Structure formats: structure tokens, C-alpha cells
Amino acid sequence: MPTVTYICPDGELEEVEVPVGTSIMKAAVSHGIESIVGDCGGSASCATCHVYVESHLEKLPPKTANEDEMLGDAASEVLPNSRLGCQVVMRDDLASLIVRVAPEQW
């Protein structure tokens, strides 16, 4: 099963197995990854699952206009590798994905 390594704001690394087809936001919430809230439940209508993609960014589909708009409301700085975790869905080719959790979600 593919894995995601979450780099938490405190520097702690959390490696989680994520089933193909599951968003990295849902995986983070179900594994108790701090700082990933997912307040909207994955509908891309908040920015409480903001992450910085550190690996495999080029393999992800482009941000949708809605995701880009929601990132505009993010509490942390938006960088070129910013994504909403609810919009990053695990695939086999994303195995060993590394994401840095944005320091502020609210």
C-alpha cells in the first residue's frame, strides 16, 4: 500500500499507509495527524487541510479553480507547492509521497 509521510509543524514525521483512492486529508484525519482539520469534510470549501507537497508534485493534476480560490483563504502562506489535502487522492504512482503540513490551518 502506498505511504504518505506528513511533516508536522513541530517537525515530527508521521508515515501513514493510504489506500489508493483515499485523499491524504482523510488519511491524516483518520490517523490523528495534528494540524490537519478537514473542517468541510473534503469538499474543498475550506482550507483546513493545507499542505506543501514536497515530493511528486509534478505527478499531481493541476489545481482546480475552486482549490486555487480556497487556498487564497488559507491561514498560512501559499507557496507554489501548496495544495488542499482533500484534493490530493492517493494513486500507486504517488507512493512515498511527502507533504509538509502548513503551520496554521485557522
Neighbouring-strand partners of residue 52: 82, 100
Full residue range of the structural domain in which residue 76 is found: 3-101
Q: What is the number of helices (H) and of strands (E) in the chain?
A: 2, 5
Cβ-Cβ contacts under 8 Å for 47 (sequence gap 6 or more) = 70, 71, 73, 74, 75, 84, 105
pLDDT in tens, 30-51: 999 988 999 888 888 899 999 9
Residue 69 covered by a domain = yes
Q: Domain count of the chain?
A: 1
Cβ-Cβ contacts under 8 Å for 69 (sequence gap 6 or more) = none
Residue 42 covered by a domain = yes
pLDDT the model gives residue 35: 86
Residue 106 covered by a domain = no
Q: pTM of this prediction?
A: 0.94
